[in-house]
Structures are given as C-alpha cells and as structure tokens.
Amino acid sequence: MKRRDFLKLTGVTGAGLLLTDLGFNAAPVEAASQTIRIHNSEEFYSVCTFCSCGCGMICSVKDGKMINLEGDPDHIVSEGALCSKGAAMAVMPNSDQRIRNPLYRAPRSNKWEEISWEEAIDKVARKFVETRDDYWISDETIDGTTYKVNRCDAVSFMGGAQNNTEESYLLSKMSRILGAVYVEHQARV
C-alpha cells in the first residue's frame, strides 16, 4: 500500500503521521472517512509552481471545481510537504482576481476594454507584422564587410520561467522563426 492510500483509508490527510500498523478494525475508520471533504472527488497530480524544488501536489476536483490541494506523500523530493506558497495555490483556479477575457487599452486611454480572442490575436499579429516589415534588417555592414543577418531588432519576446517547458520551447521556436533576437526571461533577473 502506498502511503497516500493508507492515509486516505484512515481519513488523515495531513503529512507527518507515521503508523506502521493500524492495530484496529479499519471498517469504522473507513466509514468515518466518508465525511471528509474530498469524498467522491476526482484527483489529479500536479507539481508546485514556485521556487524549483518541484514538490508534488494532489488536487481534488468536485463538479468541475477544485476543492482541495495537498502535498503528495509519494513524491520523492517533497514526501507530502508543501511550503506556505505551495499550500496557498488552491485559491488559484477559484480566485475572482483572475482575468477572464482579453483586454485592450488604446493609446492614451485610461481604461481597459474587453475584446474577443479573435480581435486580440488579430491586433497583435498585425502590429507584429507591420513592425517586422518596417524594421527588418536583411544585411548589416560591420567593419566594411556586409553580412546577411535576417533579423528584426524592434520586436522582443519575454517570459518562460513560470510556463510549462513545452510552452517555452514553442515561444522560443516561434520567436526565432519570426526573426527576433531579443528573446529573454526571468533567468536574467
């Protein structure tokens, strides 16, 4: 039995308990555990999104809503522990502070306007293409020699330390194919 299964059976979800032998009839304990909050929820594994320890998390979902988050006792690094930041993450998908729609702020405006995804992506793509076309550097002369350089120094991309690896890869790939050299992220600061 994995530690996690044992803990579920006893209805204890906190870390730090080490019992080697139940020593009592499990049935009533199991019955009592039916009342715990995560009863009848679906679980999924995640990994914490702060520092770089990579602690294991177990998230519980009921009716499409995340109702609990706790450390994964079967994780080799964290063994069920989470720090204050990791433990607070249950709020993330339920926070009313999250932005839910694309927003646009026009030049000199003092407010945000909600816009559609289609409009937002179109605005970004058009501005990018216009900038790339206007400031494209095909050749550059350095010390009297002209080189083919194929880049644009008026566009830049930033970010990745918070994103999944695949997302960083795809942004890295896209920005280079588009001809950007200003590609950076939080590792620098």
Partner 1 sequence: MTNHWVDLKNAKVFLIQGSNAAENHPMAVKWMLEAKKKGAIIIHVDPRYTRTSSIADIHAQIRPGADIAFLNSIINYIITNNLYDEDFVINHTNALLIANEEFDYQDGLFSGYNDGKFSYTNLSWGYTLDEESKPIKAESLDDPRSVFSKAKEFFKRYDFKVASDICGVPEEKIKLIADTLVNNKPGTICYALGMTQHTTGVQGIRSFGILQMLLGNLGKPGSGVNAMRGEPNVQGATDMAMLFHIIPGYLAVPNHDVVDLDTWTSRTGTFRRTFMTSILKAWFGDHAQPENDFCFNWLPKKNGRENYSLFRIFETALDKKMKFLYIMGQNPMVTNPNLNLVHESLGNLDMLVSVDLFMTETAAFWEKPGVDPSTLDTEVIFLPAASFLEKEGTLVNSGRMVQWRYTGIKPVGNSKTDLEIIDLLFNRIRELYQGSSDSKDEPILKANWNYEAEDSPSFSEEVLKEINGYNLATGELLKGIGELKPDGTTAAGNWLYAGIFANNQNHSKRKDNINDPGGLGIYPGFAWTWPGNCHVLYNRASCDAEGKPYDEANKCIWWDEEKGMWTGYDTPDVPNRNDGPDTPNGKRPFRMAGEGLARILAGPYQDPFANQLLPRDSSSVPADGPLPEHYEPFESPTENVLHPNVPVNPCVKYPRIPDKQPIGTAADYPYVLCTSSMAEHWCAGTQTRNMPWLNELQPETFIEIPKNLAAEKGIKNGDWVKVWSARGEVEAKAQVTHRIHPLKINGKEVDVVWMPYNWGYKGLSQAASTNYVTIDAGDPNTWIQETKCCLVNLDKA
Residues 12-41 that bind partner 1 (CB under 8 A): none
Nearest-angstrom CA–CA distance, 98 and 175: 27
Find the binder of partner 1 among 21, 24, 99, 144 (CB under 8 A). 99
Candidate segments 11-19, 28-36, 179-187, binder of partner 1 by CB under 8 A: 179-187
**For residues 73-92, which are near partner 1 according to CB under 8 A?**
74-79, 81, 83-85, 87-89, 91-92
Residue 110 as a binder of partner 1 (CB under 8 A): the answer is yes
Find the binder of partner 1 among 1, 15, 108, 144 (CB under 8 A). 108
Nearest-angstrom CA–CA distance, 24 and 8: 16
Write the DSSP symbol of residue 94. Answer: G
Tell me the backbone φ, ψ of residue 156, rounded to 5 degrees.
Answer: -150, 150
C-alpha angle 59-40-11 in degrees, rounded to nearest 5: 75
**Burial profile 137-158: b = 16 or more Cβ within 10 angstroms, e = fewer:** eeeeeeeeeeeeeebbeebebe
Residue 131 as a binder of partner 1 (CB under 8 A): the answer is yes
Amino acid symbol at 133: D
Find the binder of partner 1 among 48, 68, 70, 144 (CB under 8 A). 48
Candidate segments 13-21, 26-34, 127-135, binder of partner 1 by CB under 8 A: 127-135
Candidate segments 6-14, 21-29, 30-38, 129-137, binder of partner 1 by CB under 8 A: 129-137
Distance of CA 64 to the CA centre of its chain: 18
Residue 9 as a binder of partner 1 (CB under 8 A): the answer is no
